[in-house]
């Protein structure tokens, strides 16, 4: 139960989970590259003691492994789980009262507490230019706050329980922002701050907004936790932190008393400024777009403040631990939110929103041939709820077909689906709809399509990793490589536009001459060996680069009463398209510099 980020850092160090870097490090790309090295090696958290251009220290990678994330919340996690179990089913208390006897006392920590004296974060005032201005990727528009806790209240409201805290990235420098005076506020679909923004636009009240950085690690986690509307993040921060969320009122703002830094400001109504690009967690840049802008009022820092940051990029990254912990916490609520659904895996390696794997229940007609019926209702419920509504590809299987099937075991899950799927029946599209803001595979910003692949029933084929006799590809296509049994990756020419769609149709027509029943899924890609190398490569390339309505094709395809299907293999065109955002590539000079640092680091970097 940490009172501050410094307490957390010292505890991590005491237990061998943190290293200090004592020499000066540049926040412009260099700190991010060092962070990536430690994360990719499964290494410790990193405390940067001397940040170039800033008097403040910085820490990253505190959530860098699942084991360390568990360690951070080791004293409170099980207690919070019990509270959530009671939320899912209050009768659990009657069934096992001894297990839940402490739950009401745990819930007391959810009540926020007003700080009547001077708050720790009020120790000093500073300015934006003195903060560690961390830039993560070469094309980033400037420096960003990557683990912000953005706090807002509705107009004319002071009740902290009615607040919203979200992790909406903040651009501190670059573009047209006046340093120390303006910062960019980026938020996406299905975010609580949008409700407040709308209310302020319809009122005369200034839109006050605060950005908290650091504080107890539960505070950053609460900002990303998907909570029901009406339940404030301050309550969850207290629960998980085992310590009530402390706040103070100052100059009309509600400020986190225990944060390391607080930026206060007024969001301009009806005005936007260019924000981005930003190397984001799908592994590509989110491009520059107009977003709300905030006029900076004050910047506060506590004594011995530590700037907490992370670096996102192609998953998995440090923020993968958020998904891991969320899954552990909310799994008891799954059946309440999605009746009949046994499991959902928002696939982290595919960027979470592009790909969901689910297992549902098929109970409607047990006396006749099994086919997808109830699981289709469950799939639509998933696509109609909160953050899961941003999913693009949703594969759903029926639990009864294999009670031991797990959506977390991706290769086995696909094997199960592909043994049963009927491409003439089991594809269900939604076109011209919304997708994740960070996903540029669609035909517009936030615009694209979705597809449900629902497979139920007995196995109808055996899968193979052998090509059919006399198999050959038409001109322009090459290097067929199996990802796993039943999934074949094929290289195509660079996608250029309309003529490339025509090339795919020619490929599908050519493949009609072969028996592909044992190879039901074919991927058209830029580099087949890369896609087939790992499961993570397969899901990242395929589902971040394909827009279902445009990029799903089929061998012997047909349309019948507005239903599209194919009688042979399904073909997904996962090549990079001209409208896609560029993938993240490191700066070679910075990489070489960090290579030299690690070579000279001796025992400091020997932890890797």
SS in 3 state form for 71-83? HHCCCCHHHHHHH
What is the rounded CA–CA span in Å between residue 317 and residue 282? 10
At 175, is the secondary structure helix, strand, or coil?
Answer: coil
Q: Collect contacts of 500-506 with beta carbons under 8 A, ≥24 apart.
A: 500/573, 500/575, 501/550, 501/573, 503/476, 504/553, 504/571, 504/573, 505/553, 506/474
CB-based contact 239:109 (threshold 8 Å):
yes
Structure-block tokens of residue 428? 């269900």
CATH topology of domain 5-72+109-308: Pnp Oxidase; Chain A (2.30.110)
| Rg of the chain taking only CA atoms, in angstroms | 25
Residue pLDDT, tens place only, 248-286? 999 999 999 999 999 999 999 989 999 999 999 899 999
Indicate the pLDDT class of residue 195, thresholds 50, 70 and 90: confident
Among residues 396, 295, 392, the alpha carbon closest in space to that of 353 is found at 392
Q: Where are the domains of the chain?
A: 5-72+109-308, 333-455, 478-573
Q: Which residue has the higher pLDDT, 117 or 52?
A: 52
409, β-bridge pairs:
none
* CA 441 to mean position of chain CA atoms: 17
Peptide bond into 604 cis (omega under 30): no
CATH topology of domain 478-573: UbiD C-terminal domain-like (3.40.1670)
CB-based contact 8:217 (threshold 8 Å):
yes
Q: What is the mean pLDDT of residues 133-162?
A: 95
Q: Do domains 333-455 and 478-573 have the same CATH topology?
A: yes
CB-based contact 350:544 (threshold 8 Å):
yes
CATH topology of domain 333-455: UbiD C-terminal domain-like (3.40.1670)
Residue pLDDT, tens place only, 24-60? 999 999 999 999 999 999 999 999 999 999 999 999 9
Structure-block tokens of residue 107? 């819930």
Place of tokens 């084929």: 461
Place of tokens 């005005």: 271
Q: Model's pTM, two decimal places?
A: 0.90
Indicate the pLDDT class of residue 230, thresholds 50, 70 and 90: low
Indicate the pLDDT class of residue 353, thresholds 50, 70 and 90: confident
Pairing of strands 207-213, 164-166: unpaired
């Amino acid at each position: 139960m940490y009172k501050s980020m410094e307490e957390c850092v010292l505890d991590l160090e005491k237990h061998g989970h943190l290293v200090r870097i004592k020499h000066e490090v540049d926040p412009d790309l260099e700190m991010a590259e060092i962070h990536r090295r430690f994360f990719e090696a499964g290494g410790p958290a990193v405390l940067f003691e001397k940040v170039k251009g800033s008097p403040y220290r910085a820490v990253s990678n505190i959530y860098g492994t699942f084991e360390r994330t568990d360690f951070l919340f080791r004293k409170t996690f099980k207690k919070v789980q019990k509270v959530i179990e009671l939320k899912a089913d209050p009768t659990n208390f009657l069934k096992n009262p001894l297990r839940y006897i402490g739950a009401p006392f745990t819930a007391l920590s959810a009540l926020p507490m007003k700080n009547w004296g001077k708050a720790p974060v009020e120790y000093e005032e500073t300015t934006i230019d003195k903060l560690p201005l961390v830039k993560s990727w070469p094309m980033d528009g400037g420096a960003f706050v990557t683990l912000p806790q953005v706090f807002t209240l509705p107009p004319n409201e002071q009740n902290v329980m009615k607040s919203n805290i979200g992790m909406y990235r903040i651009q501190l420098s670059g573009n047209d922002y006046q340093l120390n005076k303006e910062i960019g506020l980026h938020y996406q679909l299905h975010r609580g701050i949008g409700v407040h923004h709308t209310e302020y636009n319809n009122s005369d009240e200034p839109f006050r907004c605060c950005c908290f950085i650091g504080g107890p690690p539960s505070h950053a986690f609460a900002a990303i936790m998907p909570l029901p509307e009406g339940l404030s993040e301050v309550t969850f921060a207290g629960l998980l932190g085992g310590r009530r969320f402390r706040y103070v009122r100052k100059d009309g703002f509600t400020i986190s008393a225990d944060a390391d830094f607080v930026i206060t400001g007024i969001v301009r109504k009806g005005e936007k400024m260019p924000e981005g690009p930003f190397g984001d967690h799908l592994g590509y840049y989110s491009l520059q777009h107009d977003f709300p802008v905030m006029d900076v009022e004050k910047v506060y820092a506590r004594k011995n403040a530590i700037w907490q940051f992370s670096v996102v990029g192609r998953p998995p990254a440090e923020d993968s631990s958020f998904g891991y912990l969320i899954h552990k916490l909310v799994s008891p609520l799954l059946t309440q939110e999605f009746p009949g659904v046994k499991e959902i895996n928002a696939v982290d390696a595919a960027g979470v929103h592009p790909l969901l794997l689910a297992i549902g229940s098929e109970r409607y007609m047990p006396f006749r041939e099994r086919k997808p019926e109830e699981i289709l209702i469950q799939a639509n419920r998933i696509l109609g709820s909160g953050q899961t509504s941003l999913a693009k590809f949703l594969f759903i299987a029926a639990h009864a077909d294999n009670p031991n099937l797990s959506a977390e075991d991706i290769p086995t899950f696909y094997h199960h689906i592909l043994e049963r799927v009927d491409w003439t029946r089991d594809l269900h599209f939604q076109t011209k709809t919304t997708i994740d803001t960070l996903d540029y595979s669609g035909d517009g910003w936030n615009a694209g399509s979705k597809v449900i692949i629902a497979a139920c029933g007995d196995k109808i084929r055996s899968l193979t990793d052998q090509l059919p006799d006399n198999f050959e590809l038409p001109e322009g296509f090459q290097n067929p490589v199996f990802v796993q049994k039943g999934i074949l990756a094929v290289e195509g020419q660079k996608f250029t536009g309309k003529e490339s769609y025509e090339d795919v149709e020619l490929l599908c027509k050519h493949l009609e001459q072969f028996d592909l029943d044992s190879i039901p899924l074919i991927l058209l890609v830029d580099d087949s060996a890369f896609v087939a190398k790992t499961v993570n490569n397969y899901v990242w390339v395929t589902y971040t680069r394909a827009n279902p309505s445009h990029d799903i094709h089929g061998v012997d395809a047909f349309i019948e009463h507005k239903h599209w299907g194919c009688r042979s293999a399904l073909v997904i065109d996962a090549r990079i398209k001209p409208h896609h955002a560029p993938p993240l590539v490191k700066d070679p000079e910075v990489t070489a510099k960090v290579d030299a640092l690690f070579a000279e680091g001796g025992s400091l970097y020997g932890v890797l």
